[in-house]
Amino acid sequence: MRSADYLIQKTAFSLVTLSVVLVFNFVLFRIIPGDPVQMILSPRLRPETRERIRHEYGLDRPVWFNLEASRETGNLLQLFDSQFFHYVRNLAGGNLGESFRLQTPVAELIRARLGPTLLLILTGEVMAILLGSLLGLVAAWKRKTPIDAVCTAVGLTAFGLPAFWLGIVLLILARGHLPMGGFQTSGVTYADPIARALDVARHLVLPTSTLAILLFGGYMLMARNSSLEVLAEDYILTAKAKGLSAVRILLCHALKNASLPLVTLVALNLGYALGGTIQIETVFSWPGIGRLMYEAIAERDYPILQGVFLFLAVGVIGANFLADLTYALVDPRVKA
């Protein structure tokens, strides 16, 4: 398969998946019982006021197609004057709706919380990948030894830890030594940007460590299993016969081929991290998207939930698309 055909195929698949997600996101929050207007304002409002608000939010339109308006006016375009196509037009313009509780555009709320979440995910992912890959290579090199048994046991334990429990344990252990929560110290005036960055870094230690430990187990086990296959190849035996050191064999010969399965796992973990940070950000009061979703659930603020769900879904689809492209670049056999 040519590179252009492979790219077109993966792009088409991502677009189809995105379309399904858009429809599901639209339907999901319209099958929930209750009147959205009652969540915004008092139920004691007069009926005419309630209808006016429903009209402002477009809730008086038909859900899928406006057959009645199209028949009355004879205009085929009126057929698309419905909640679904209004929702699609808003998304095309970058409008994710307005928060019931805060009366603020959802896109602005997500944009304000995106930075802390990306900082948390990127630092946690990098730590987990480096530590997991290193221990996975060591465990494979020392297979069927006590070192392999210990590394595997540590990886399995980390893989099965609950996020909220691990966060609470780290809070207890670090009490009095590190900040217990938040993005930075409240009410502090920083002398320079470096001082602010150091304060943020101190607040980042616990949530990042929690995320890194949770992700580390998967990377370690994947790296070990893939390394076992690579280390049995003939070119590894040739490298040993040439007298190359273990470090050079692992880093220069085994790591590249053993890292192929890790590319897919990185993409999957990005999706997990985007959604899984809800518990971590809640435990550590980290002002990210996960915390925003938790607050929206508590307040039943459906526009925020709908916007965050769509954002997370697009992030997962995008991460998998990049993983497919990266995998093809690292291993040209994939395109065949």
At residue 275, the pLDDT reads 63
275 with 214: CB under 8 angstroms? no
DSSP state of 96: -
Start-to-end Cα distance in the chain = 5
Q: Which domains does the chain have, with CATH numbers?
A: 3-92 (no CATH), 106-335 (1.10.3720.10)
- Rounded CA-CA distance 181/203 in Å is 7
Q: What is the mean pLDDT of residues 266-274?
A: 71
| Cα radius of gyration rounded to whole Å, the chain | 25
Full-model pTM: 0.76
* Per-residue pLDDT reduced to its tens digit, 18-77: 888 888 877 776 666 655 555 555 556 566 666 666 666 666 677 777 777 777 777 767
Q: Which residue has the higher pLDDT, 103 or 147?
A: 147
Other residues' Cβ atoms within 10 Å of the Cβ of residue 220 = 27
- Look at residue 233 and tell me whether its pLDDT is greater than 80: no
In terms of Cα–Cα distance, which of 124, 170, 132 is closest to 151? 132
236 with 295: CB under 8 angstroms? no
> What's the half-sphere exposure (Cβ side, CA atoms, 13 Å) at 275?
12
At residue 60, the pLDDT reads 66
* Per-residue pLDDT reduced to its tens digit, 291-301: 888 888 777 77
Structure tokens at 243: 């007298």
Looking at every residue in the chain, the average pLDDT score rounds to 78
65 with 79: CB under 8 angstroms? yes
At residue 308, the pLDDT reads 86
In terms of Cα–Cα distance, which of 291, 276, 308 is closest to 25? 308
* Per-residue pLDDT reduced to its tens digit, 191-214: 788 888 888 888 888 999 998 888
Assign 105 to helix, strand or coil.
strand
Of 36-50, 149-163, 311-325, where does the model show the most confidence?
Answer: 149-163
